[in-house]
């Protein structure tokens, strides 16, 4: 497993930062995996949020085939985790 985030090169397209939305009543998270293009990312700030993101990705992989994401801790700041679409 690589120690740093996978670099994705797409000329002319800048990666967008997406946010996780939470339902106010139930507190369930809504992840924006479907709307992400290659290079886009989600930033989370705790290990628990990163683990929840990985569990959500496992469920997403069962429903949607062909899209892949990485969830990595940044080298600059140990408290930031990045989920990036790589394919």
Render pLDDT for 15-59 as a digit per residue (tens, 0 to 9). 899 999 988 888 888 999 999 999 999 999 999 999 999 999 999
Question: Contact at 8 Å (CB) between 33 and 59?
Answer: no
What's the pTM? 0.79
Q: In the chain, where does DSSP find H-type helix?
A: 47-63
pLDDT at residue 9 is higher than 70: no
Q: How far is CA 70 from the centre of its chain?
A: 7
Rounded to whole angstroms, the Cα distance separating 54 from 75 reads 19
């Amino acid at each position: 497993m690589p120690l740093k985030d996978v670099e994705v090169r797409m000329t002319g397209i800048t990666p967008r930062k997406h946010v996780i939305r939470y339902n106010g009543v139930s507190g369930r998270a809504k992840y924006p995996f479907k709307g992400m293009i290659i290079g886009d990312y989600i930033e989370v700030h705790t290990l628990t949020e990163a683990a929840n993101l990985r569990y959500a990705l496992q469920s997403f992989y069962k429903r949607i085939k062909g899209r892949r994401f990485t969830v990595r801790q940044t080298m600059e700041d140990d408290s930031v985790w990045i989920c990036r679409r790589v394919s």
